[in-house]
Amino acid sequence: MATDKKFSVVGTSTLNGKTKVRFANDSLRVKILAKNGHENINLINLPSEMYKWQIAQHLNEIDFAKGDSDVQKAIDYIAKKNPAPASQDAPVNEEVTVEQPVVA
């Protein structure tokens, strides 16, 4: 489920009793979700384009769920399925050694 796509709009909706996090790049996604029978649609524009793992962190930081356990479970699921890359957790400075040519 991990992806390298970035998104600028995120939120949640409920379809057939199942609440999921929805990702998009346009806020007009609300119309499509409503047309397809989704309820409790709540989309927000992100401050910048983000990866899914960044979005999960951002939603927790801003308390997007606001006590709604179904929304929090959906956010937790996205965080679990899209872990931050190891390179993002701890930047590593690699030392490069250049061998000197041997002159005979």
At 41-74, the pLDDT tens digits run 999 999 999 999 999 999 999 999 999 999 999 9
Tell me the Ramachandran region of residue 79: left when phi exceeds 0, alpha when psi lies from -120 to 50, beta otherwise: alpha
User: What whole-number distance in Å separates Cα of residue 21 and Cα of residue 71?
Assistant: 8
Pairing of strands 7-15, 39-50: antiparallel
Partners of 44 in the beta sheet? 10
**Spatial contact of 43 and 10, defined as CB atoms under 8 Å apart:** yes
Q: What is the pLDDT of residues 1-51, one digit of tens each?
A: 556 899 999 999 999 999 999 999 998 999 999 999 999 999 999 999 999
76 token code pair: 């937790």
